[in-house]
Amino acid sequence: METSTAANNTTAEAASNDGNQLLRPLWASVLLIIVLGIIILLTVLGNLLVCVTVVTQRRLHTATNLFVFSLAATDLMLGLLVLPFSSLTTIWAKWPLGSVFCNIYISNDVWLCTISILNLFAISLDRHLAVTRPFRYEFLVTKRRVYICIASIWLSSLLLAYVPIHVGWNTENGCVQNVKNPENCIFELGNKTYAMFISIGTYFVPLIIMCAVYARVYSIAKSQVKQINSVVKNGNTSTIKKKKKLFLRFGQSRKRSVKRDSQRGAVSDRKATITLGCVVVAFVVCWVPYFLLFSVKPWLRNKVNMDLDLFCLWLGYVNSTLNPFLYAFYNTTFRTAFRRVLCGKIRFFGDDRLEAYCRTPPPPPPPPIASCSADESEMTMLKPPYSYNN
C-alpha cells in the first residue's frame, strides 16, 4: 500500500531543482535496485511455482488449496503489477506515468495487499475448522463455499481499494489525489476516519483473530498428541484389541504400529508449532509497523521520515515474498509436488546437481495425529493442522 510523506515531496522537489532524478546518492540507488530486484524476483518466482503446482498436480485439487492458490495468485500479481512501480517511486524523484495511472497503481496496491491479508485470515479459519471440526470439515468446507469466499474477498477488496481513492474519500479536502501535481505519485491520508477504518478493518481485527485461532489450533494439536501418548504409555489398548492392531498409512502403503506413530505424531506437532509460529510472527513483523504508521499519519499530517515510511512499506511487501515458503514450501505434500513439476523441466538445463536432486527420493509425508475420544475407546486419525492435503 503506497503512502505519502511530506519528506518525500520535499526531497523530490529538491532533486528536481538540482536536475537529479534520483532521491538518493548513486551508490545507494544502485544498492536499492539490487535489493528490491531480489525481493521482486523471489516474490514472482515463488508464487508462480505455487500456482503452477496447484494447477498441474491433481493431488492438490482440494478445497483448502484453493485458498493457497488464491494467496499465491494475489502475491504473484502484486509482484508483477505493483512492486516494479513501487520500486520506481522508491528510487526516482519524479513519477513519469501521469496521475491517472498513478491512482490505478495505488488502487492495485491497496487491492492486492488487502486480498493477501484476507487470504491469510481465511486460511487460519480453514485450519481452525479442520482441527476443531474434523468429522464435519468436508461438509462445512466445500469447494463451492470456498469459491464464494474467495470471490467475496477479491470483490470486497476491489471496492475498498478503488472507490475511496477515485472518489477522494482518503484525502482531507475530498479531492482526488495526484491530479494537481501528477509528477508526485502519493497515497494521501488526510481523512482520519478512512485511515482508521482501513487499518483496523483490514489488518488489526484479522490479526487478533488469527492469533487466537492459531493458538487454539496449537492447543488442540498438542492435546491430541498428549492423549495418544498417554493411551500407549498406560497400555490402554481396548481399540487395539478389538481390531488386533491399528496401522497408519504413510506414503506408498507403508505401515507402522500405534506406538511408533504416536512418537512421530509428536514430531509432527513440533513441526506444526514451528510453522504456526512462523506464520504469526511473519504476519506481525511484516505488517504491524506499516499499519501503525498508516493509522497515525492523518494526525501527523503526513510528516513522516521518508526512509522510515518506505522501509515499513517494503517490509509489508516482504510478507508476500515469504508466503510461499510459509504456506507451501514447508509442507511435505507441496514439496513433493514441486519436485514433480521442477524435475519435469529440469533436465533441459543439464545440471548434474539438479539431476542428483531429482534422483533423490522425496521424504515421506508427515504422519497424521492420533486423537482419542473422551472414553479412550476409539482412536481417530487427524491430519496435522499445517497440512493442505485434506
Where residue 21 sits, what CATH number does that domain have? Answer: 1.20.1070.10
**Residue 388 in domain:** no
**Residue 280 in domain:** yes
In angstroms, the CA 18 to CA 169 distance is: 35
**Residue 59 in domain:** yes
**The C-alpha cell that represents 234 in the structure block:** 498406560
CA dihedral 86, 87, 91, 93 (to 10 degrees): -30
Q: Burial-class residue 78 by CB neighbours within 10 Å (0-12, 13-18, 19+).
A: buried
pLDDT of residue 267: 54
Q: Burial-class residue 245 by CB neighbours within 10 Å (0-12, 13-18, 19+).
A: exposed
Domain count, the chain: 1
pLDDT of residue 357: 59
Task: Give the rounded distance of the alpha carbon of 367 from its chain centre.
Answer: 25
Could you tell me if 331 and 385 are in contact, meaning their C-beta atoms sit under 8 angstroms apart? Answer: no
Helix (H, G, I), strand (E, B) or coil at 258: helix
pLDDT of residue 355: 60
0.85 cut: is pTM over it? Answer: no
Secondary structure letter of residue 204 according to DSSP: I
Q: Pick the closest to residue 1 from 97, 73, 124, 89 (CA basis).
A: 89
Q: Pick the closest to residue 75 from 101, 38, 50, 102 (CA basis).
A: 50
Could you tell me if 286 and 318 are in contact, meaning their C-beta atoms sit under 8 angstroms apart? Answer: yes
User: What angle do helix axes 63-81 and 83-91 make, rounded to 10 degrees?
Assistant: 30
**Residue 190 in domain:** yes
Q: Pick the closest to residue 113 from 360, 283, 338 (CA basis).
A: 283
pLDDT (tens place) for every residue of the chain, 390 residues total: 666 544 455 444 444 444 457 778 888 889 999 999 999 999 999 999 999 999 988 888 888 889 999 999 999 999 999 999 999 989 987 888 888 999 999 999 999 999 999 998 998 898 888 888 888 888 999 999 999 999 999 999 999 999 999 998 888 888 888 888 888 888 888 888 888 899 899 889 999 999 898 888 888 877 777 776 676 666 554 544 444 444 444 444 444 444 555 555 555 545 655 676 788 888 889 999 999 988 888 787 657 788 888 999 999 999 999 988 887 777 777 778 888 877 765 554 555 565 665 666 665 555 444 444 333 333 333 444 444 444
**The C-alpha cell that represents 17 in the structure block:** 531543482
Domain range for 18 is 6-382
**Residue 1 in domain:** no
In angstroms, the CA 51 to CA 352 distance is: 27
pLDDT of residue 352: 57
**Residue 11 in domain:** yes
pLDDT of residue 289: 92
**Residue 80 in domain:** yes
**Residue 387 in domain:** no
In angstroms, the CA 5 to CA 190 distance is: 11
Could you tell me if 281 and 275 are in contact, meaning their C-beta atoms sit under 8 angstroms apart? Answer: no
